[in-house]
Structure 1
């Protein structure tokens, strides 16, 4: 029996090769779908993780813990409290402890019996306020020159801190915290805040968990001073600030995301005193959104390709089996057993398909691996997972069974019909059932795709995704139902009209029972190709629009600047005419994205969403309402007119912080010695002389300045009164800390302004007591990305705005998306938010947004203004990245599958026409002998299948329009653009193949010979 089957295969080598190829393609398509979906999901996770901020890679907890017996024990106590509640599989726990204070260039021991306030600059020395930090594994994330602190008293400082203090490795210093005695320390290492191991910057390193107080920041002298916990113990603090952070792995995978979302025991928030920020929640939410959007289009595209390949395979089997009906019938008449006939009929196909299955699985894997190498740059490997193996096995089994059934059905008719070569009849009942089922499913899919789709629950997620395919199938089977009667009627009419060639072609189409299958296949393939092309174009347009909103402008340049205000000044200097550049700062925290922009330039530079409730110019005006004029000092000296009360025991250092002409921080310290009486304290501020001078930002005190009265603020060179008594005591001129109960009470009087400080916890007094010059709008005016209801329902009342504490906000407008913000966050005015932040420290990404018409030398102008450019990103580049997420991979795969389906349809057309060549050629030759004109025979030969395919392709092209209308994608292009560009070439290709096969048929069968008399 085996020899007979092998001999049958040798006899039908061409047919066997085609069947093997189609079998391989079916299994390859079945395997490629889940493999590509899995690879694209891994790509989406990696891209989302790479684009996430450092804060979104961590769950952070902060608490003030009793420092006894030591700082390490305090951190351990905090970890023991929060780890059982917040730790998740896959997260790494990092502990730390810190205190705030001042690093001074020389030990300054206090006089006996007198306390030394923090923040006071030592005589003959220099000081920088910086946190003293111990954090597990910190040195592994620093680029150090020197050594890592390993013993008590050893510290590592940042390069800007070293420059500010004029120190280097080996320098002896002192660290002072609050009113504690200073502790000697030695610099053993200097780290670079602009570089981190691995080529990234500390700002982007998830190890620092997005903490502004811990993250090394370029150009900031107040960067943390790293040490070990025993150095903190030497200070003898009552409490320490403990940090327990849970960090995601360096490389996120779908398996890690599953671990992060898996519940672990009963969760609850830590007790009072713990501040928790869960940035991982936002990251997981975005990853889950990408994962949810990916599989459906990929699997639908793969399913359509499998269905087309399967249909082509069965079509080829049926046509090939029909050519052997007479041979099989003769074998039965000659006494061949049924078993032998069945084996010879189905055996070759079974053997071929069994051999094709593993080859198809391997081909599918190779195709996906190649696609991953080309377009999925974050995917290292494509493993064969169980889902792929099960899918490939199920499809292989289904193809095998259907092939056997199809062949046996062809040979199941009467022997006489087989001997006479009468085409096998099909059951009209089965065909009618298939047609009704296709129409019912299409109607159900369209119903669930409409406005009622939200009400059908989870069941409504499957059919809407298949709506386009089901509608195309319904149209194909209905057109197939009428094509043969229509061809018969057309042939009769053409005969009556005296056109025998076209009539013969139409009548032959009407007589062939397999024509309807070919018509249905072509209609479905062309309609789905149109839908896939429209979907890909719509996806590109949608992703491009999303990229524009996410980026904010045509081009965004990431820069380094000393502060946010310095960035603002530099951009205005580079582009004084407000034409092409805008300063911006972007901060992605655990609660969303905050983007601060130079509102005056927003309308000219940024992209603006069409769905916004107001124009860009209107929104910009609302973001920067009028506030108090800033207090400006334009002289070379600042003078404080103050009265020191009787009974003051210690010198009170008063730090005056100003914003310099270029946005830099200018800080001077007035030492109010305990000598009673009124006096003028003169402070040199040469940077403020001339021009617009300096803006007064705040006064800072290390402890409560009880009894001191500030009468006036004056300036010298030139002389002027900056603030008189009335200005000093004006209630609207000063404010205390925003966002927390500061404990500072302002005491205005006819003579001026005084203040007193009552700490909420006397054990933990604030070493930085401030009063700020009130020259900004509060609450902070913001635009919120969200529905209009957010403006009224009070769901958003605070937002992160570059400070340690969230700020109260005033929502002045909403939009579904905002430039630079996307769909989750707020937009503020840069100058307003910067003044409300009360700090020159910056952890936000400093950027310059460029309009599409920015000059070619824009970057050179920015550098000339003092900015350091470190990166550049265009909206088109971001759109290309976006196509690796959400629906992008699915749309790309869907289009590729539709193009492959078109190739299979071309194969089917050529195969059907070629298989028919033998019998049809003999029939037409007989007609030619009987006197039918050569021209008519040639026309019948060449135009038969070409006409059928052309009509079917036209119908499929027209079906793409209702398919698109009932299942549109947002942002889709005009049908008049895509349909001619894709479907017309597809239809021409199909018709050309049929015409070419017809031409080959006429030459092979000798139908172009001289006319026979």
Structure 2
């Protein structure tokens, strides 16, 4: 019997090969999904490691010790216990035990004496093998005791050079928080400047996360003073920080042993806790491992969500093709049944041929699935490496079992059917009760899975994971049942109109028992491909939005501490024409948790620089609303000002007022609030020298502060303002009499007086400790563009973190970089509104793609230190290497495999139908049917089926995406608050549909060309 089955296989080897290929595809999909997950996990880990910050690729064990030996004259802190040193040594030994790490020893403490500014201290550092990582510019590297190396910028700033000597002494910060200076903590020592250096690679792994080259206002330019170990130890010092920097190498960061690395780090932290708090372990590796875990977790729902429909599609294809094949063998099976063969003989002769073919394909699929994923992994993410494990094969038996079960289900009628049923020329249709029950069950499962997905809020677990697969299968079956009667009607109408070729093609489709299932299969095939296209393209455009709108501009430079006016003036000097740069700062966080974050921008450059959403008002329109035309602010040209004031109704001690003036430097170096003195009940002139106004200032406001506890009933007349320019020229008195040129607080009344501007404080309304009158150039309230809910009470936090009244300037879909719930104001107008802004919150310079290559040098020339340089294209590259983007390559593979399944089903269906269709059309030819209609019926039957199936399949895929696509974590588990697209581009979807249509049509035409020649030749057949 076995030999007979193999003879049957050889006789119908075309069908056997097709069945084997379908079995191969089913098992390939089952093996490829977990294998791809393993490969993606490695790629995610490799990508995160490649883009990790220096502190995430290593760890630092440090201990602060006081090495000064106590003497009678020594008033310093006592020496620490001996065990502290032992503890550091113990942890150092534990560090060395970590496999795959390299270590660098360092010691450092603060010194003064090289910089005349007592607020700046230098860091005296010994670092193991430092000369190999420095570029010596002048002099030589460290060679003897007493040698030090200075950074090039430090040497230039202090006019020092190689060969000079400096006197240094250890230092400690002042204990008085109001005095930000350094105090001596040791005896001075004269040292020789051996040379000047520049760090060859400041961000190299050798430097770890020490931050040696980061400038801060308290420590100077960020260039340590390097010396030898002997010099550092013999110099009188107290506290010293000892550290061991461990840098993880490829062996430690191997994607296959990250779990062991986490366990080693936890063990090290525990050992540190056991020996006490003297040794501190700092590492960002835990955050890196957490980020890798999050990235890997976000990929795991994306692969099965299309692997499941692909496996179901493969099983359905096997079910369909086996059923088609058995239709051609019913005569053989009827003879076997008629001879009274035993059931196992009948079973083996009926099912053996298909089972052997599918089993052979399944065995090959185990190897093919793994090799296919290995090839894709080597091409798509080569940095991740190819996993060596074959654990993905654990799902191969399940897929093979499903494929074999599909074979048995397809043959159930032939195995148990009567001889009469097997001898029927027209087999039973698909309208039986079991077929209808199966379709109803599929629909109910699709509804249940979709409802569960909604109720679980998009959790792709349990039945929800199968929702897309079941939904596409159910919709395919329903559309097949609904479409074939329509095709039949169309064929009948074509027959009445004399279009015989079209009529015969339509009738063959509508009345063939297996045509409905073939149509459902093709619809499901195209739906899976369309669903994969929706996921891939939606995620692609989403990453583009995240990289552009999420960054804010093509390039964003974050600078260190700067006042808003300083930042604004510096950027305008860097780019005077407003072509490529824009000053931006965040508004301080509000006092309530529900207050939306804010962004202050130089709106005159908004259209030229900022990334902007496609919907909503344009950047030019928004800029015009944020910056309405206002009068020019009052200005004066020099640092010496004099204000003429007359007052009455004041009582010193109880009802007094102090005069203040808020100014901003015209050159952008800063702003200030200056007290001019306490007002007297007479006319007087109040003078003051304002350091920030060396090149002129504008007046932001004139303030009056109460000096007593009682309410004020007084009248003040501002008569004018005089200023002395740098050339000592005295400017004339500026009259302040026009009340329309000022905006007053509600607590005061402003009116014109014969000799100036009269300000009246009424006891009934004046209870504020400080009131301001501001120039009309100050927007009050300030225009604000809002994304999301409007601010409560139309108030937001200003640059000084105090409430700022706003007025509506329009609604935005999103504020670039901040999100869909945020506000945007003009930076200059916000600075005018604020009396004393202080330092900016996250000062930034946004740049477009036309920014010059030397932009960093230009920024440094303005006295700004860049601490972060973020580029939208690099963000896009990083997003393309994260878990969701990598996982979606499996969707591309799924789409290709689905089309192959559809093509295979077409080939086998055409092969099985060949004999029957040739007999039918040949009989009609013998009855006089012309060759043309006969050829059309033979050639275009399946292409027409493909055309209809592709159109409906794309609609089914789009509908399935509408119902379930929102649940896919395309942007990771924590998507940004940005308007990410929910739908693919229609052009992309149509392009993929056209490609699928051309592919399947080509297969369908190829299968019908030979048949067309056979039925169109002349003479009886």
Distance 1:136 1:74, change over 3 A: farther
| Among candidates 890, 897, 909, match of residue 912 of structure 1 | 909
Structure-1 residue corresponding to 2:1015? 1007
Q: What are the within-5 Å matches in structure 2 for residues 72-221 of structure 1?
A: 77=87, 97-102=107-112, 104=114, 119=116, 129-134=121-126, 153=146, 155-161=148-154, 173-178=166-171, 179=184, 180-185=186-191, 191-193=197-199, 195-196=200-201, 202-203=202-203, 205=205, 207-209=207-209, 211=211
* Kept after mapping to 1: 8 A contact 2:582/2:845: yes
Structure-1 residue corresponding to 2:443? 439
**Match of 1:296, SS?**
coil
2:302 is aligned with 1:310: no
2:993 is aligned with 1:983: yes
- Of residues 134-143 and 395-404 in structure 1, the stretch that sits farther from structure 2 once superposed is 134-143
* Kept after mapping to 1: 8 A contact 2:121/2:220: no
| C-alpha distance in 2 between matches for 1:430 and 1:62 | 74
Structure-2 residue corresponding to 1:653? none
Distance 1:510 1:836, change over 3 A: closer
Shift of 1:369: 3.2
2:864 is aligned with 1:859: no
Structure-2 residue corresponding to 1:369? 374
Q: Deviations over 1:938-978 (max 9, x none)?
A: 44333433443333333223323433333455414577544
Q: What are the within-5 Å matches in structure 2 for residues 252-271 of structure 1?
A: 252=253, 258=259, 264=266
Shift of 1:518: 0.8
| C-alpha distance in 2 between matches for 1:464 and 1:82 | 50
* Kept after mapping to 1: 8 A contact 2:20/2:362: no
* Kept after mapping to 1: 8 A contact 2:56/2:285: yes
Give the gaps of 5 or more residues in structure 2: 70-78, 172-183, 587-596, 641-664, 671-690, 698-723, 731-781, 967-979
**Match of 1:177, SS?**
strand
- Of residues 206-215 and 958-967 in structure 1, the stretch that sits farther from structure 2 once superposed is 206-215
Q: What are the within-5 Å matches in structure 2 for residues 48-87 of structure 1?
A: 48-55=48-55, 65-67=65-67, 77=87
Shift of 1:576: 1.0
Structure-2 residue corresponding to 1:553? 553
* Equivalent pairs, count: 827
| C-alpha distance in 2 between matches for 1:938 and 1:1007 | 7
CA RMSD of aligned residues (A): 6.1
* Kept after mapping to 2: 8 A contact 1:216/1:223: no
| C-alpha distance in 1 between matches for 2:602 and 2:539 | 32
Shift of 1:482: 4.3
Structure-1 residue corresponding to 2:711? none
Q: What are the within-5 Å matches in structure 2 for residues 643-654 of structure 1?
A: none
| C-alpha distance in 2 between matches for 1:73 and 1:418 | 93
| C-alpha distance in 1 between matches for 2:30 and 2:869 | 41
| C-alpha distance in 2 between matches for 1:607 and 1:20 | 53
Shift of 1:405: 5.1
| C-alpha distance in 2 between matches for 1:962 and 1:228 | 71
Q: What are the within-5 Å matches in structure 2 for residues 555-954 of structure 1?
A: 555=555, 572-582=572-582, 601=605, 604-607=608-611, 819=816, 849-851=846-848, 854=850, 858-859=852-853, 875-876=872-873, 878-954=875-951
Give the gaps of 5 or more residues in structure 1: 105-117, 122-126, 197-201, 587-592, 635-658, 665-684, 694-714, 722-780, 799-806
Distance 1:797 1:400, change over 3 A: farther
| C-alpha distance in 1 between matches for 2:375 and 2:43 | 14
Shift of 1:1012: 7.0
Q: Deviations over 1:390-449 (max 9, x none)?
A: 123432343244335545654442234434555367794543343233212322333244
| C-alpha distance in 2 between matches for 1:888 and 1:811 | 43
| C-alpha distance in 1 between matches for 2:239 and 2:922 | 105
Distance 1:690 1:563, change over 3 A: closer
**Match of 2:303, SS?**
helix
Distance 1:612 1:504, change over 3 A: closer
2:536 is aligned with 1:539: no
2:274 is aligned with 1:293: no
Shift of 1:602: 5.5
| C-alpha distance in 2 between matches for 1:885 and 1:312 | 34
| C-alpha distance in 1 between matches for 2:610 and 2:617 | 16
Q: Deviations over 1:534-575 (max 9, x none)?
A: 332221221111001343313468999999999987754442
* Kept after mapping to 2: 8 A contact 1:502/1:936: yes
Q: What are the within-5 Å matches in structure 2 for residues 502-517 of structure 1?
A: 502-517=502-517
* Kept after mapping to 1: 8 A contact 2:938/2:1011: yes
* Kept after mapping to 1: 8 A contact 2:315/2:402: no
Q: Deviations over 1:979-1007 (max 9, x none)?
A: 4333355346545543553343221xx32
**Match of 1:176, SS?**
strand
| C-alpha distance in 2 between matches for 1:536 and 1:607 | 23
Structure-2 residue corresponding to 1:33? 33
Shift of 1:37: 2.6
* Kept after mapping to 1: 8 A contact 2:316/2:406: no
* Kept after mapping to 1: 8 A contact 2:584/2:844: yes
Distance 1:558 1:186, change over 3 A: same
| C-alpha distance in 1 between matches for 2:98 and 2:414 | 61
Shift of 1:937: 3.5
| C-alpha distance in 2 between matches for 1:42 and 1:550 | 27
Structure-1 residue corresponding to 2:332? 327
* Kept after mapping to 2: 8 A contact 1:88/1:264: no
Distance 1:931 1:815, change over 3 A: closer
**Match of 1:132, SS?**
strand
2:1017 is aligned with 1:997: no
* Kept after mapping to 1: 8 A contact 2:475/2:956: yes
- Of residues 817-826 and 915-924 in structure 1, the stretch that sits farther from structure 2 once superposed is 817-826
Q: What are the within-5 Å matches in structure 2 for residues 384-399 of structure 1?
A: 384-386=389-391, 388-399=392-403
Q: What are the within-5 Å matches in structure 2 for residues 3-42 of structure 1?
A: 3-42=3-42
Shift of 1:473: 1.4
Q: Deviations over 1:750-796 (max 9, x none)?
A: xxxxxxxxxxxxxxxxxxxxxxxxxxxxxxx9x9999989999xxx9
| C-alpha distance in 1 between matches for 2:370 and 2:502 | 47
Q: Deviations over 1:176-223 (max 9, x none)?
A: 123321235456776532x33xxxxx2464853263677999x98551
Distance 1:464 1:191, change over 3 A: farther
Structure-2 residue corresponding to 1:480? 480
Q: Deviations over 1:198-256 (max 9, x none)?
A: xxxx2464853263677999x98551124466644433433334667777666756556
Q: Deviations over 1:598-628 (max 9, x none)?
A: 7875664222579999997599999xxx999
| C-alpha distance in 2 between matches for 1:871 and 1:334 | 86
Shift of 1:313: 3.3
| C-alpha distance in 2 between matches for 1:391 and 1:283 | 31
**Match of 2:386, SS?**
coil
Distance 1:398 1:140, change over 3 A: farther
**Match of 2:384, SS?**
coil
Distance 1:119 1:851, change over 3 A: closer
